[in-house]
Chain A
Amino acid sequence: MTTAHITPPPSPSVGASAAGEIFYPHKHLLGIEGLYPHELTGLLDLADTYVEQNRRTNKKKSLLKGLTMINLFFENSTRTRTSFELAAKRLGADVINMQADSSSVKKGETLLDTAITLNAMHPDILVVRHADSGAVKLLSEKVSGAVINAGDGQHEHPTQALLDALTIRRRKGRIDGLRVAICGDILHSRVARSNIHLLNTMGARVRLVAPPTLLPNSIDHLGCEVFHDMREGLKDCDIVMMLRLQLERMESSYLPSVREYFHFYGLDYDKLSVAKPDALIMHPGPMNRGVEIDSLVADDINRSAIQEQVEMGVAVRMACLDALTRATRNAEADQ
């Protein structure tokens, strides 16, 4: 397990970001795996500044004025797409939303053909969601603008992990040393993978709690402790991160029934009682109430950070857009 302690750079203000400090040297944001702690910290520090900006009456900046962002979603999503759209608009970018139907056409042709077509329109940022792992990376090789992975198959969802980290850091003051339980359908979850990488990199201790049928092969090699019993897994945890369970998993024989799943893995006050008294409850949404989480717990304003995660999402995406366009903006400013 990675427990690197690298001193983060001083927190840049929004003004400093406009001045063009480069702390994130990559062209794209395709995943959390492989990023350094100081790069993640830099993004989180920058996001912190945007949280404050978003709480003001005047939320809008002109940092990305003249830049174009395309939201290219091959999979349905309202929350993530809206969050990115809002983030871009608050920074003054022009935003186009494209919902590509990935089921009625030959998917691969659409992906690369669309990439090439869109590239000809010179977008500065492409935000891409796709049902296949690796598809966003493939696309990123064909375009000249910055690409942000908004979720690819069962691989990664980096901005979700960043917004989760920001939520945790603001509530707990740190990530290092915290005990975090990620519970539910780990097998199919890109959110879980990105969070495992991020939390490990930032020094948290990650536990996974799921039935064996919903755990991928060798997941413990990623630096996690695996539990099949919720009570054992949640014991003394600082953070309880629930995952959405897709109901078709019942038909695919991953699980016998919703009733049985909720009984053993649904988060309720009884199971939560073994976690730390101030344990924070998180969920990437949308929630299946009564399946993976009890409504009372989900709506407990003292324990649940679910709404705060949504708020942090916009700030984190603003930070990512800011960081990824700095090189471009600096180059233009130099001309």
Chain B
Amino acid sequence: MTSHVFVNVRLLDPASGLDAMGGLVVEDGKIVAAGANIRAGDAPEGATVIDGDGHCLAPGLIDSRVFVGEPGAEHKETLASASQSAAAGGVTTIITMPSTKPAIDGVSLVEYMARRRSDDVLVNVVPMAAATKRLEGKEMTEIGLLTNAGAVAFTDGRTAVADASVMMKILKYGRMFDALLVQHPEEPTLSKGVMNAGELSTRLGLSGSTPLAELLMIERDIRLAEATGGRLHFAHVTAAGSLAAVRAAKARGIRITCGVTPPHFALNELVVGDYRTFAKISPPLRAEDDRLAVIEGLKDGTIDVIASGHDPQDAESKRLPFAQAAFGAVGLETLLPVSMELYHNGYLSLLEVIDRLTRRPAELFKLPGGRLAVGAPADLVLFDPDLAIRIDADRFRSKSKNTPFDEQPAQGKVMLTMVGGRVVYSAQA
């Protein structure tokens, strides 16, 4: 029996509201005790004692939007390299996107992803399956069988399910299995641009995607969710207008949720600057007013989860003229420090930030982690929320280094990550 005891830590558990100094005992991969009264002397015989030095111990982060290159683009990222990147970022569960080659749209592929956990894959891998076959937006996948095989949600990844009739059928049929449909909310014919539509795109001579594309798709899908009773999650909401629509729909009791990625609350379109392709992401970085609206959405709970949107692209996909460069930024290793901005800037409490990164995604995707409760898996992150760092893409564990945050100062550092009672990352190592 392996056991660890964390002592001298600030316990953060959004599920119970716990925020107090104390300790936590892990045995056989599960949490067996947590509280203010746990000290080194309470360690079972043979247990490894980890002195947290007063740092925060929280449930491991659950990242609900992770693109991996495997299968099909292993040169950009493998599950192993993504898991190392996740471990270094304090992420203990990655919910993978089906946008691979081939797309994860069949039972055997979902089973492959779900069973991929091995010695070289350090964190929990939980797959989402395609919502439509081959991600083409035309035919629904086998939602029931895929759910049984381990798919926690259904999505067409980087593209929206644009056909309203198909979308309606998925929501309606998916209700039988309480399936969650994760939508990329952008009306495709209005979102063909390569950056946010506005003055900067006009100056740079780049085609723009209007925030209206997001609003239209969200308003349509809200109506469909209302009509069908299906469970719908918008992967990312980035514009003021669409956040208002989500807020109003939630107030009407419609079963919708939404997420956001750190670039959309930490950066605005000006980062594109002089054709900086590392700032080319989808949906695009928006105007400052939209960024402030996203922060407001996080504060008032309109936005449920923060996900990294980790989308590894190799240098060859980015060292191109802006219009030709690939969309996407890696995010696993910047998720925690950039999210800490919300705390340091006084927008959210520390517990609230952790809540959007742990408990909320766990509940949404029906996962066992995300809390420090007795019996919960020992998926944990020990971090210093205050330590000043400079983000250094060259040191990322990910195979790809494409981030708009490179060389930015931040506050927050992961000291140790544990998955299932096993230490998978230590800053000291």
Which A residues contact B (CB, under 8 angstroms)? 33, 107-109, 111-112, 130, 132-135, 137-138, 152-156, 190, 193, 216-219, 221-222
> Can you list 12 contacts pairing A with B, beta carbon distance less than 8 Å?
A112-B319, A133-B204, A133-B323, A134-B205, A138-B320, A153-B323, A155-B204, A193-B205, A217-B202, A217-B210, A218-B199, A222-B202
Q: CB-defined interface of B197-216 with A at 8 Å, one 1/0 digit per residue? A: 11101111111101000000
Asked if A138 and B205 make an inter-chain contact with CB atoms under 8 angstroms apart, the answer reads no
Closest A residue by C-beta to B325 = A108
Per the bound structure, the CA–CA distance linking A133 and B325 in Å amounts to 12
B208 contacts which chain A residues (CB < 8 A)? 216-217
* Residue B324 CB within 8 A of the other chain: yes
Closest-CB distance, A134 to chain B (whole angstroms): 3
How far, in angstroms, from A302 to B154 measured CA to CA in the complex? 68
Q: At the interface, yes or no: B396 with Cβ under 8 Å from chain A?
A: no
Contacts of A111 in B (CB 8 A): 320-321
Point out the residues of chain A lying under 8 angstroms from B325, CB to CB. 108
Alpha-carbon separation in the docked complex, A109 to B320 (Å):
8
With A108-B316, A134-B275 given, can you name 15 additional A-B contacts, CB distance below 8 Å?
A111-B321, A134-B205, A134-B274, A134-B321, A137-B274, A138-B275, A138-B319, A153-B205, A153-B206, A190-B205, A193-B203, A217-B197, A217-B201, A217-B210, A221-B202
Using A217-B197, A217-B208 as known contacts, say yes or no to A134 and B322 having CB atoms under 8 A apart.
yes
Closest 5 CB pairs of A and B: A155-B205, A108-B320, A134-B275, A132-B321, A154-B205
Cβ contact within 8 Å between A108 and B203: no
Complex CA gap A109/B204 in Å reads: 22
Question: Which residues on the A side are within 8 Å of B275 (C-beta)?
Answer: 133-134, 137-138
Report Cα–Cα, A190/B206, bound state, in Å: 11
Which residues does B use to contact A, with CB under 8 Å? 197-199, 201-208, 210, 274-275, 316, 319-325
Q: Which one, A107, A112, A133, contacts B205 given CB within 8 A?
A: A133
Set of chain B residues within 8 Å of A193, measured between Cβ atoms: 202-203, 205
Query: Given the complex, which residues of B lie within 8 Å of A156, measured CB to CB?
Result: 205
- A216 to B207, alpha carbons, bound, how many Å? 9
Cα distance, A150 to B74, chains bound together (Å):
39
Q: Please report the C-alpha to C-alpha distance between residue A107 and residue B199 in the assembled complex, in whole angstroms.
A: 27
B198 touches A218 (CB 8 A): yes
The reply to whether B323 and A132 contact each other, CB–CB distance below 8 Å, is yes
Task: Report the nearest A residue to B205, measured CB to CB.
Answer: A155
Query: In the bound complex, do residue B202 and residue A132 qualify as a contact, i.e. CB atoms below 8 Å apart?
Result: no
**Residues of A with C-beta under 8 A to B319:** 108, 112, 138
Verify A216–B321 contact, CB threshold 8 A. Answer: no
Give CA–CA (A134, B322) in the complex, Å. Answer: 7
A156 to B205, CA, bound (A): 8
Asked whether B203 lies within 8 Å of A222 as measured between CB atoms, the reply is yes
Assembly CA distance A112 to B320 (angstroms)? 8
Give Cα A190 to B324, complex, Å.
Answer: 18
Contacts of B321 in A (CB 8 A): 107-108, 111, 130, 132-135, 138, 153
In Å, the complex CA distance between A155 and B203 comes to 7
Q: Which residues of B contact A138 (CB under 8 A)?
A: 275, 319-321
Most buried by B among A138, A152, A190, A219: A138
Chain B residue contacts of A107, Cβ below 8 A: 320-321, 324
Contact A217 B205 (CB under 8 A): no
> Once bound together, how far apart are the Cα atoms of A190 and B202, in whole Å?
10
Chain B residues with Cβ below 8 Å from A221 are: 199, 202
The answer for the CA separation of A107 and B324 in the assembled complex, in Å, is 8
Within 8 Å CB of B323, what residues of A?
132-134, 153
Cα A138 to Cα B203 with chains together (Å) = 16
Residue of B nearest to A221 (CB): B199
Residues of A within 8 A of B202 (CB): 193, 216-219, 221-222
